[in-house]
Amino acid sequence: MKPSMGFLYGELLKAKREIKQVYGNVESRYKDVMAIIDKKMEGRLNSALHLSAYLLNPHYSYADASIFDDGTIIEGFISCVETFYHDDDDKGYRAVNVDSEQFQKRLGNFSKKLARSCERFEFNPGKLLHHFCPNLYCN
């Protein structure tokens, strides 16, 4: 089974941090490698949808609240919301200003046991979906 989009961007960021560490955090040593990774990601793995999936993945956002302050990620999220709710300003407003705040503060449905279990890395939403809809994926 392939990793879900919510983990893909986060794991790429983790890999980039680990590469920097391997090169002793000396930019002149790792900048060429980062340039290759960034070029491959550009326009494919850093879309508004990828950024939104990363933001809304409790494994990352609950472990590091600074994600909610990252302008690039928030801009991607807002862009994604505008795309999905292009014809309904009220739903877009609610997603950005109400639902995302409840998610960030773990309120309402986001405080339930199942929602909290999503913080663990071993939670795989794709696997759960496959369990309930086995014909949805092709191997």
pLDDT digits (tens, 9 = 90+) for 67-102: 999 999 999 999 999 999 999 999 999 999 999 999
* Ranges of residues in the chain whose predicted pLDDT is under 50: 128-133, 136-139
Q: What is the greatest pairwise CA distance in the chain?
A: 49
Q: What is the pLDDT of residue 3?
A: 57
What pLDDT sits at residue 124?
A: 53
Give the span between the Cα atoms of 33 and 92, in whole angstroms. 38
Is the Cβ–Cβ distance between 116 and 94 less than 8 Å?
A: no
| Model pTM score | 0.76
d(CA 104, CA 99): 9
- Per-domain boundaries in the chain: 5-136
Question: Cα–Cα distance between 67 and 64 in angstroms, integer?
Answer: 6
